[in-house]
A and B are shown apart, each in its own frame.
Chain A
Amino acid sequence: MALLQISEPGMSAEPHQHKLAVGIDLGTTNSLVATVRSGMSTVLQDEHGRSLLPSVVRYTADNGVIVGHQAQAKQSEDPINTIVSVKRFMGRGMKDIADKAHIPYRFVSNNTAESASQGMLQIDTRAGLKSPVEISAEILKTLKARAEKALGGELIGAVITVPAYFDDAQRQATKDAARLAGLHVLRLLNEPTAAAVAYGLDNAAEGVYVIYDLGGGTFDVSILHLSKGVFEVLATNGDSALGGDDFDHRIYCWILDQTREQNPNKNPLNEEDTRLLLTKARQAKEWLTDNDEAQIIAKLSDGFAIDLALSAETFIELTQNLVNKTLSPMRKAMRDAGLELTEIKGVVMVGGATRMPHVRHAVEDFFQQEPLTNLDPDKVVALGAAIQANVLAGNRSDEDLLLLDVTPLSLGLETMGGLVEKIIPRNSMLPVARAQDFTTFKDGQTAMSIHVLQGERDLVSACRSLARFELRGIPPMVAGAARIRVTFQVDADGLLSVGAREETKGIEASITVKPSYGLSEEQITDMLKSSFGAAETDKQARALAEAKVDAMSIISAINIALAQDGHLLSELEKNEINASIQSLEQTLTTEDSHAVHAATEALNETTGAFAAKRMDASVSRALAGKNIDEVDLK
């Protein structure tokens, strides 16, 4: 592993230190990778000059894995082993997939998940059981290889986009996939926010903008306030199971109905036919964007010939209620943001599905203005992600771009009677932390089950269960006397962690929310091991190398901090820090990764107060600067 260079926050890196960071749009239908080169955000192409990588993964008979166009070409021929739209299954269990009958895969429920009643579903392929996380990791690996080839070096990290309306399980699954692909995730970024960055910077937009993002499988609407490089999300809403795929599916069902009407005794379809007709349906949908009628011609595996004409009018009839399903999230977002239609300066269309004319008309009717379509709806998300990756990697001075995002869904926990008590309401700005006190229900109760939920409804059964854990060792008291403080914290990636603490005795329990639909830490480690084929010694060597890289980065960061802000410390404090650095440096000459870890921790501990002082000083400087500006204005 290459040594990572650490630049001081607030200082731009020297030009020759340009770090290779990319933005990845991991889409339902297509995926892209982009980077900032010579100040321009650019989508990276494959060796054939293609930007879009179809999000299709095929497991071949000779134990190979093929991703992209080649896999897509085989989807009708080998549907069971060719996985398309895997994003729809990320962080999802069997019961979440509505129309399993029309999806040509062999789904398997993951019964090995230790915590929840249902784990994330898996797909049985010729290469064995594959989870959506592993399949997505193949797409990410392909994009990583494309980027490293194009940029000529190892990536320090990537910003990966997710639908804003993705819940915690779906976000966690995405992060796991990146880890499996060997990508360091700089940040999970919401797709509409990424689009806003690309659009906003390109057009020097200021004011309130709506991003309407209808992709292959997900729908998001975000309302942002853009001002001088600050992108503040005011509200977001959406439907993480609504997208272009659903329009294809309506056409597919129409083809079946028409065929059965004409030939009541038609044989049932096999998996190849299902995939073929879904592909034909997608082609017809795309054709109808610019034409009044699409011809659907297909020959099924039993020789049966299909020849149908689908008019644009019929297509609209079939799918208008899907378009209407996007209206309710828009209304909710507008209400949450507390805005009137007249306050919206522009509506930006993102996602391939927004090419459909009746989608554009619906948006125009709703917002009473023509939507902005002057950018490539397929690329804008990746371009925005690349810009953010470039900033996070420290390649650009930090003063000019700031993204302030929100959590899309309310978070809470189960209380008596199967009700959800909300702790963090939707559209809270990230990062956010909230604490609330709870108490016992019975006399002498010594344990408490904490059930973490996400969603807007009041009933536990109508929300998504994220995790359960137990707090034990509560001192026996009468019912209602104990004070259990539960804290929820959501980080800048939108990922949740929950802690519980009994206040009188100080018993604690906490978890990073993960298990219900994610992979366990053990599963990921196993997968990494098998994919690298690493022996035990390799693992140790890797751990040691990583620990040393970590240690050196921190020493370098602290030395720069001392040079810049050493005056904030007393001589005694400086000596303490220097001594701590020296102890850490000594461990670097050994082969003991535990000692390196311990000394790194110790150094982190010693510099805690210094970090706080620097933060204070930096903020005070910022606020003082602001005040002077204000004086100048008057």
Chain B
Amino acid sequence: MSERSLRESGLNENYFELFALKQCFAIDTTALEGQYRQIQSKAHPDRFVTASSTEKLQSMQLATLANEAYQTLKKPASRAKYLLTLNKIDAIEETNTSMPADFLMQQMEWREALEDYKAAKDIDGLENLMKEMRQVASALTNELNHLFDEKNDLTSATATTRKLIFIDKVCEDINKAITQIED
């Protein structure tokens, strides 16, 4: 569906407003789930199986938007990135590549560890690395709570968001490596 047709659905495209949530980083995830289900209980195509084609189209568009919005707000990294987008900041813009030197060093070590475990087909090693990544991600998420909601420091929040996105990517690659070994 194009952006154009999403707009035609007449609903506000701000994901926080869509779910009647306050625009901030530390959202109430239980409320998000509840509101998401409320919207889908009205908008899901299953509710419009016998309706006119116009209503089917509307339902399809709103249900799609709600899914996209829900997925975006559910995960801290995508939520942070989205919050920055609303502030006209592109966290993963190509020109925006600066990273503190210590984090870059740390990154390289994790990457090397990942490659080593992968080569040794060491699933336990990979799973431990995953646990470490989750701890780092959780610390970064706490940092973002503070930077977005208390200090409104978008510059620092951008840097931290980039770190979190990076950690997510490592987690994804760890999962891929485990899957490859298991297959």
Interface residues of A (CB under 8 A from B): 4, 6-7, 9-10, 157, 186-187, 230, 232, 328, 331-332, 335, 388, 391-394, 398-399, 402-404, 428-433, 435, 485, 487, 489, 491-492, 501, 553-554, 557-558, 604-605, 607-609, 611-616, 618-619, 622-623, 625-627, 630
Contacts and interface: CB of A to CB of B under 8 A. Distances in A.
Given A187-B49, A335-B178, A612-B9, A429 B2 contact: no
A394 B51 CA distance: 10
B53 to A, nearest CB: 6
A4 B52 CA distance: 12
A392 B31 contact: no
B179 interface: yes
Given A402-B37, A429-B67, A432-B67, A492 B54 contact: no
Contacts of B51: 6, 9, 557
A115 to B, nearest CB: 25
A606 to B, nearest CB: 9
B2 A627 contact: no
Contact of B46 (A187, A558, A630): A187
Interface string B41-58: 111111111111111011
A186 B47 CA distance: 11
Contact of A604 (B31, B37, B39, B53): B53
B43 A611 contact: no
15 contacts: A9-B47, A9-B48, A187-B49, A230-B37, A335-B179, A398-B47, A435-B2, A435-B3, A487-B2, A501-B2, A554-B52, A608-B54, A608-B58, A626-B35, A630-B34
Contacts of B31: 630
B67 A431 contact: yes
Contacts of A630: 31, 34
Contacts of A388: 46
Given A6-B51, A393-B49, A402-B40, A611 B64 contact: no
B156 to A, nearest CB: 28
B63 A394 contact: no
A626 B31 CA distance: 9
B38 A623 contact: yes
Contacts of B148: none
Contact of B67 (A9, A430, A612, A615): A430
A328 B180 CA distance: 10
Contacts of A626: 20, 34-35, 38
A613 B8 CA distance: 11
A157 B50 CA distance: 10
Contacts of B52: 553-554, 557-558, 604, 607, 611
A615 B44 contact: no
A102 to B, nearest CB: 25
A619 B54 contact: no
B102 interface: no
A321 B63 CA distance: 41
Contacts of A627: 20
A431 B70 CA distance: 12
Contacts of A428: 67, 71
B2 A492 contact: no
A146 B97 CA distance: 65
A391 B46 contact: yes
B58 A492 contact: no
Contacts of A404: 40, 44
B58 A615 contact: yes
Contact of A622 (B1, B41, B68): B41
Contacts of A232: 37
A304 B53 CA distance: 64
Nearest to B175: A335
B50 A604 contact: no
B77 interface: no
B62 interface: yes
B175 to A, nearest CB: 6
Nearest to B3: A435
B38 A604 contact: no
Across the A-B interface, the 8 shortest Cβ-Cβ residue pairs: A433-B1, A612-B10, A492-B45, A622-B38, A392-B49, A429-B67, A604-B54, A554-B52
A142 to B, nearest CB: 25
Contacts of B63: 431, 492
Nearest to B34: A626
Nearest to A621: B42
B137 to A, nearest CB: 12
A431 B54 contact: no
Given A608-B58, A611-B58, 9 more contacts: A429-B70, A430-B67, A431-B64, A487-B1, A489-B1, A491-B60, A501-B2, A608-B8, A619-B43
A619 B11 contact: yes
B64 A432 contact: yes
A608 B53 CA distance: 10
A328 B175 CA distance: 13
A207 B19 CA distance: 23
Contact of A328 (B8, B9, B62, B182): B182
A622 B42 CA distance: 7
Nearest to A554: B52
Interface string B141-183: 0000000000000000000000000000000000100110011
B8 A612 contact: yes
Given A487-B1, A612-B8, A627-B20, A619 B62 contact: yes
Contacts of B60: 431, 491-492
Given A435-B2, A604-B54, A402 B44 contact: yes
Contacts of B182: 328, 331
Contacts of A6: 50-51
Among B52, B53, B62, residue most surrounded by chain A Cβ atoms (within 10 Å): B52
A157 B53 CA distance: 17
A394 B67 contact: no
Among A4, A492, A501, residue most surrounded by chain B Cβ atoms (within 10 Å): A492
Contacts of A485: 2
Contact of A615 (B62, B178, B179): B62
A341 to B, nearest CB: 13
A558 B62 CA distance: 20
Contacts of B10: 609, 612-613, 615-616
Nearest to B46: A392
A557 B48 CA distance: 11
Among A230, A607, A626, residue most surrounded by chain B Cβ atoms (within 10 Å): A626
A10 B47 CA distance: 7
Interface string B11-45: 10000000110000000000100110111111111
A619 B55 contact: no
Nearest to A613: B10
A7 B50 contact: yes
B91 to A, nearest CB: 18
Contacts of A432: 64, 67-68
Contact of A429 (B3, B46, B71): B71
A489 B60 CA distance: 10
Contacts of A613: 10
Contacts of A10: 42, 47
Contacts of B43: 615, 618-619
A618 B20 CA distance: 14
